Structure 1
Amino acid sequence: MKIFLLGYMGSGKTYIGKQLAERLGSRFIDLDEQIEKKQGASISEIFEKRGEVFFRKIERQMLEEVLRSDVSSVISLGGGTPCYGDNMDVIKNTDNATTIYLKWDIATLTERLFTEKDHRPMISHLETREKLEEFIRKHLFERGFYYNQSEHIIDCNSRSPEEIIHQINELLG
């Protein structure tokens, strides 16, 4: 089985994905980490030197590699992965796969991301919490269409990672 974790940057896809994979005895794949390994550069460097269009092309290639694998995996997608091209349709139509949206409110995402914005190319230029919140609000409005196509949507607000993982385990049966 392939379990795809979707959500905005800062939603905990990597942390929750690693813990979930360990509990399920599955392999964990962070799509962004795979891209960084293959390109020999950080996501920030790829965006800066090659641009978003190049990044999205490489991202799709890595997604296709993951989809071809027969190994049971928990896959943490980049925040924008399901929103480009037909990525979400391809993911949803993968045999023996499920999609889970880790949904957080805007205020929580703003607080989480403000302290680490310098390491995230899409938001590093935003200097105030207000500008970051406005950016997240707009982005979630645009991306929500894709995220909400997930088979499962988990409201993560006021929940510990352990509670979120427990709910995912229950959903998976």
Structure 2
Amino acid sequence: MKDTRMADKYISTAKVIDGILILSLPDAVSPVVWQMELGQSKSSALEIRDGGNGQFVLTLKTPRQDVLDIATYANRDLAIKALLVTTAALEKGQGQLKAAPASSANGYPVPVVTQQKTGAFGVLKKLLLWLSGIAAGLILLIVVGWLLLGVINVIMAPKSAATTSSATSSSGPVSADEFLENR
């Protein structure tokens, strides 16, 4: 009975000092002091989850969807009170917020939002890429067709003319008209 009254005297506190959130949670099932650099947790969320057995867990959800347990409470009211104390501290934060270096984000990736170019330049760029692809395809088609026609002409050329010209050249002199007709 004495332990219950003593636990009732302790309440959760939270402070933000120079960009660091410091939580003191003595009314949790396992009392804890917890801290987090706010500059490195750009889009994390604090929430209360049902821990089973009538207990509730104050958790931190990271951008990678990792869930970190901060403290377990015997009932939902104490967990909500700790969450509200944390919210008030974040609203009244004092000091400077230190931005996380680009190379380190506490091991968590920082989400990047990119926009597609939908303006006039983006549309023009897509149109030019599309038209250049069509032009390259047409040029390739023309070159391949030209080469195929040349190969077909060589294959389909009459071979009898070559044999007659060789036969006439071995028999003796030929007039110019005959030579041109045989060609």
| Structure (1 or 2) with the larger CA radius of gyration | 2
> Shared fold (TM-score greater than 0.5)?
no
Shorter chain as denominator, the TM-score bin is: under 0.3
Q: Scaled by the length of structure 2, what TM-score is found?
A: 0.23
Q: Scaled by the length of structure 1, what TM-score is found?
A: 0.24
Select the structure that is richer in strand: 2
Select the structure that is richer in helix: 1
